[in-house]
Structure 1
Amino acid sequence: MGPGTMRPVMSLPSLLQALFLVSQIAAAAPSVESGLSVEALDRRGMPLRDPQAADFTIVQNGVPLPVAGLETGTPWRVVIYVDRVLSGTRTVRAAAGLLASQAVALAALGPVEVVVAEPAPRQAQAPTRDPVEIDEALSRLLLTGDGRDDLRALRQRSYEEIAAPAEHPEDVAGRLEEALATEVRLVDRQQDGLLEWLADPRGQGGPRVLFLVSDGYELDPRPAYLARVEDPARRAALAGGLADPGLGIRSRELAETAAALGWTVLPLPAGNERLPELGRWRTRSTPDLPIGVVVTPGRRKEKEPAEEPTLPELAEPRAPLTALAEETGGEVLTTATATTGAVARLGIRLWLRYTVPAGTAGDLQPVVVGSTTAASLRAVRWTGPPVPGRVIARRALRLLAGDEDEEDLTAAVALRPVEEAGGGWTLEVRPEEPSSRRLTIAVGGASGATVTHRLLQPADLGADGLWRVPLGPLDGALRLAVVLDSPAGGSWSGRVLPVVAEIADEEGEEAPLSVVAEEPVRFEPWTGRGVRIVAPAGGRAVGPVEVEVDLRLPAERRLERLELFWNDELAATLYRPPFRHRVNVPEERPVGTLRATALLDDGTLAEDAVLLNSTAVGERLDVRLVELYVVVTDRDNRPVRGLGKEDFRLLQDGREQVIAGFDDAGASPLSIGLAFDSSASMFLKLPDVREAARSLLSAGLTARDRALLVDFDSAPRLVTGMTGDLGNVSAGLDTLRADGSSDLFEAIVFSLQKLQGVVGRKALIVYSDGIGEGEKTSYRACLQEARRANVPLYLIVTNERAARASGGGVLEPLDGYAERLDRLAAASGGRAFFVRPSQDLREVYDAILRELRSQYL
């Protein structure tokens, strides 16, 4: 059915039969009350006159249910959800304008909140029934709300990569598969974020409507990518190897789950709608001026919005939006007329209360509404529990993929191998308290992931207080995600377990239940990009050994050199294929490591290593010698120089490690990442920040040092990549413009990732005024990345309040924010500097450089 198609009305004979069954069920079982919203119109498209509960029937999962009552004028929870990632600028601004013109009508429905996803959803306007506040929030989006249009931008980059010349035919297949996987991940991330927001328990129990601002996406992007392959035979061969990405299935599940959660969804892919006149909207503080007008002496702002760059078009991107609207009793809105009508009809919808027999909640169930008086109906097509299993399943899959932070599990869990015939595994769960829990398990293997659910009841606990859940064989599985929650809603917890038996102690006893072994090393077939030693593969190899390396690089990267090492001693340097060389492995000392290291033109590094002539089971090494750069300071934070190897001890997990090498690294070249906050609150500070940074680049760094530049507000952007041309980095500072909100943690994670693979000493310096507006990346995720990256992080926070908080005074206006930043920097081996706006930043940069020039390796 199309977006404007009405659901057929139940026939009179069917209705009479349904009413008879309703009376039988009502007399036979206890019940609980539920409700749903219905748009019921007569043949003229007008609301029904004097509707009665007896005029309606509800059939849930094939079972007629009695309608207990009917209400009109029930307050709505209204959410305007703007997905900037999947929307272009015209869509964001046109939709914001259409809804701003309806501010009074929306406020009459109920509290209105505005949510912006870029990529994670955040609240841009708290729930309000004040039309002026709603108008102002939407008008800001109209005037300044740029759409990111990430999907089409990704398409353009991927098309260029696929069309680029390839040395090997399989490179084209690799590029195509990677592009497809990247698009699917992007869409899944946005849909998961939307699903989590829809599952928020706030406002449950009444009607809820979601105005979804999005351009949509393709349910099957494979044909679009295959069309970029010019050779028909090659295209046909590639098509046979591309599996269905599953977006169609997940799109349908999202629509059904949204309906079951009680949402009516009204998508607004309004990119072709004419942008409204700005003069219609007025602010409370400046009633004579339209919102967003900038008043500057001697200037008038009359510039029209810039045209969006031409990006590839998508095939049928509205298909998932149409399905979402149909399953939830909504409609797709693309014009001002349609939007005005839809908002008006929400106000005359009916709220039907009906009874459900106890014990029939289960998971999602289809629901059909019938009427003896209405000519057309719109209503949700699904119902279900407060937190459907599909919501938890997606959480478990994100947890398994590493896209979701682990939450402290409300139980101790462990995997035990089954010793009896048939083998397999058992999951043991010891809850903190004996209450009902839903257990969701996502198992990842070479062929994908599977999800199962099980309800754990207190009566099923063993005498030792454990739930034992048989899992059967987990062939090929590397790890599994365990999620515990209550089906009735509320908090959830989860963690990831490696598929490996628990550690045994010295007496052969199993480890305590809370102890989980390290993830085992698994060796997968070589299918990706990077460096791989293909010969020798490991095992026995003595004397002159033929070494062959397979090198697969991104299309935009160029190899500078490939180095071969035997036990960290350089054996050969190769500059072009074929990458083959004979390396001598001495018979008197045959055990050692063969390593291949590729250095690319952007300074990044890729490498592989193989252990030869060892008795170890696993011979390929996925680790290398760890380099630790250390700064020693006295009580006044002054670097201590002149120490030797004997002055240090290295402990890992409480065990002393051998220090393989020691050096004074202060004179080694530095690779510095510079990240600067350019949010709107930086407007007055930005000129001084630029000048101090130029001083650092021109006087602080040397000709052997390199730098990269990141600019961030609500999202980070790479201004210049890692380069030794410090003048180019300095010029990039001129592109910084103060605008938007600030997401410090996302910028830190982004910048650390840009430093991955950079060879030698490196550090990240981040400047911010500490005024955040709804961080999309969590502090916990940022802390994990800082610990993992092995890059010292130096935070400079210019904010009067933060400076006072860090100084140990009684005022802590940032509610612990300064302490969190201090812990974040310390966890990486760096420092946090909290300074006042008037303080000279060059002093801070000098202190940072003194530390870096005093490092030991």
Structure 2
Amino acid sequence: MFRLPDAARSCLVIALLSAVALLALTHAGAQTRRARRAAAAQAKATPKPSPIVVPRKPTQQSSAPRATPTPPRVFVVPSQDEVPPPPPPTPTPKPTPKPADEPIDESEVVRVTSNLVVVPVAVTDSAGNAVQGLKKEDFRLEEEGRAQQLEAVGDADQVPLDIAVIFDISSSVTKNFEFEKQTAAGFLKEVLKPIDRAAIFTIAEKPQLAQPLSSANTAMLKLMTIPAAQKATGTAFYDTVATAAKYLDKNAPERNRRVILVISDGEDNFSNDVRDAMLAEGKGGATQAEAMEHQRSLHSKAVQKVLQEVQRADAVFYSINPSGPGIRLNRISQRAQDQLKLLADSTGGNSFLPPKLEDLTTIFRQIAAELRAQYLLQYLSNGNAQPGKFLRIKVATPARTDLQIRARQGYYKKG
């Protein structure tokens, strides 16, 4: 058998492989040409929509070399379902906020605001003159027996004042009515600054708001036009003071100082609780001693209800009784004066019983001086009492035992 040399066999194998590869390429080229002709025929048969040219996107180049360059392509926008979503925008980095710009914890703000307590304090010497110049370190304040740290002592003259003046126009106190109005008007002119306001109430059979909170001039003009009662009338003292306190609580901003000034003898025979009880008592068969005790208890409960309203309004109560020293000869009048003093002492105010009518001018000036010289003690309560609870407070000047301190005896915790 003839045997080819090794070199010849290698050449023959290479030639056979080359022939097979050429045949495969020829067959693939024929298939490609047939596919192109079929696609062209289909394109002629089916009309295309008007093309929309879109920006070209860079495409990845094939690694296989091309014999001829490919002409530019025109793309038709595919259907909405086939459009890929656009890439999300690159977020712009934000600068790191400064500590002062960090969000505030609202719950913390509410806590601090609700615990802030402001106590107006009047300090006088043995002669009744206002004492000024005291500092935070001179005061000691306790709440429910616990010492409190004072945050600041404010200047009362820089804080707006809202005052409710209550004028008794019932027949029991109208003897010197015109002079009383004139001195009260002078008081408003002296004590009220442009930022301050006054409201006018009258006491008779029922409370009456004669002038809402307004400037000193407006309140003075209204005060001078109020007429005295022309006939015997009832006196609803408790109802009127309670109404004035509620009015201030609703209409005076919480940051303002609130004062109630009453020109009256304090006697009451026509407030709702008093009148109804007296009518019921008249129909019974009580003895005189029983009736007197019942009246005492009745008025005591009534004045306590009034005191609560004044304290809820954070108001300071002042009173001027124009009846004169003859009041001490009358048991009912003395009881009324004692109740006026109770309201004043409990709220940090004062009650006056002038010996003679001419002293009214001096008394009004004393009240005006006290209001201008008040100290506003401010502290954050360290207690955890529930809203609505009455908390007792005590103010003193330990290093100045010679001074007289008048401050409210407590307050109702705000919600």
2:241 to 737, 743, 748: 748
Match of 1:796 in 2: 320
Cα distance in 1 between the residues matched to 2:159 and 2:258: 10
Tell me if the contact between 2:307 and 2:343 (Cα under 8 Å) persists in the aligned partners: yes
Amino acid in structure 2 at the alignment position of 1:611: E
1:732 to 200, 206, 222: 222
Q: 1:611 to 1:585 in 2, by over 3 A?
A: farther
Shift of 1:621: 7.9
State the identity as a percent.
28
1:689 and 2:185 are equivalent in the alignment = no
1:634 and 2:125 are equivalent in the alignment = yes
Shift of 1:623: 2.2
Match of 1:762 in 2: 258
After superposition, residues 563-582 of structure 1 pair within 5 angstroms as none
Q: 1:818 to 1:691 in 2, by over 3 A?
A: same
Shift of 1:831: 0.6
Describe the SS at the equivalent of 2:117.
coil
Match of 2:134 in 1: 643
Instruction: Name stretches of at least 5 consecutive residues in structure 2 with no aligned partner.
Output: 1-95, 274-301, 377-415
Describe the SS at the equivalent of 2:127.
coil
Q: 1:593 to 1:794 in 2, by over 3 A?
A: farther
Tell me if the contact between 1:670 and 1:761 (Cα under 8 Å) persists in the aligned partners: yes
Shift of 1:815: 4.9
Amino acid in structure 1 at the alignment position of 2:262: V
Cα distance in 2 between the residues matched to 1:722 and 1:593: 36
1:661 to 137, 141, 152: 152
1:783 and 2:274 are equivalent in the alignment = no
Tell me if the contact between 1:768 and 1:797 (Cα under 8 Å) persists in the aligned partners: yes
| Cα shift readout 1:324-360 (whole Å, capped 9, x = no counterpart) | xxxxxxxxxxxxxxxxxxxxxxxxxxxxxxxxxxxxx
1:611 to 84, 104, 108: 108
Count, aligned residues: 247
Shift of 1:709: 0.9
Shift of 1:585: 6.0
Cα distance in 2 between the residues matched to 1:674 and 1:750: 12
Describe the SS at the equivalent of 2:209.
strand
After superposition, residues 152-231 of structure 1 pair within 5 angstroms as none
Cα distance in 1 between the residues matched to 2:331 and 2:259: 29
Q: 1:717 to 1:729 in 2, by over 3 A?
A: same
Amino acid in structure 1 at the alignment position of 2:375: Y
Tell me if the contact between 1:795 and 1:833 (Cα under 8 Å) persists in the aligned partners: yes
Shift of 1:626: 1.9
Q: 1:769 to 1:837 in 2, by over 3 A?
A: farther
Q: 1:798 to 1:718 in 2, by over 3 A?
A: same
Shift of 1:852: 0.5
Match of 1:838 in 2: 357
1:824 to 314, 330, 343: 343
Shift of 1:800: 3.0
Q: 1:620 to 1:815 in 2, by over 3 A?
A: closer
Tell me if the contact between 1:803 and 1:836 (Cα under 8 Å) persists in the aligned partners: no
TM-score computed with the length of structure 2 as normaliser: 0.53
Match of 1:507 in 2: none
2:143 to 630, 647, 652: 652
Shift of 1:838: 2.7
Shift of 1:718: 1.1
Match of 2:64 in 1: none
Shift of 1:798: 1.3
Shift of 1:744: 1.5
Alignment root-mean-square deviation, CA: 2.9
| Cα shift readout 1:152-201 (whole Å, capped 9, x = no counterpart) | xxxxxxxxxxxxxxxxxxxxxxxxxxxxxxxxxxxxxxxxxxxxxxxxxx
Cα distance in 2 between the residues matched to 1:819 and 1:769: 10
After superposition, residues 493-572 of structure 1 pair within 5 angstroms as none
Shift of 1:669: 3.5
Amino acid in structure 1 at the alignment position of 2:242: V
Match of 1:89 in 2: none
Shift of 1:674: 0.8
Cα distance in 2 between the residues matched to 1:635 and 1:812: 30
Cα distance in 1 between the residues matched to 2:111 and 2:195: 35
Tell me if the contact between 1:770 and 1:802 (Cα under 8 Å) persists in the aligned partners: no
Rg larger for: 2
Shift of 1:830: 0.3
| Cα shift readout 1:194-243 (whole Å, capped 9, x = no counterpart) | xxxxxxxxxxxxxxxxxxxxxxxxxxxxxxxxxxxxxxxxxxxxxxxxxx
Match of 1:130 in 2: none
Cα distance in 1 between the residues matched to 2:118 and 2:175: 41
Shift of 1:832: 0.7
Tell me if the contact between 1:803 and 1:835 (Cα under 8 Å) persists in the aligned partners: no
Q: 1:817 to 1:699 in 2, by over 3 A?
A: closer
Describe the SS at the equivalent of 1:663.
strand
Q: 1:707 to 1:802 in 2, by over 3 A?
A: farther
Describe the SS at the equivalent of 1:814.
helix
Tell me if the contact between 1:801 and 1:812 (Cα under 8 Å) persists in the aligned partners: no
| Cα shift readout 1:281-311 (whole Å, capped 9, x = no counterpart) | xxxxxxxxxxxxxxxxxxxxxxxxxxxxxxx
Tell me if the contact between 2:201 and 2:207 (Cα under 8 Å) persists in the aligned partners: yes
Cα distance in 2 between the residues matched to 1:668 and 1:611: 26
Cα distance in 1 between the residues matched to 2:196 and 2:172: 31
Match of 1:722 in 2: 213
Match of 1:625 in 2: 116
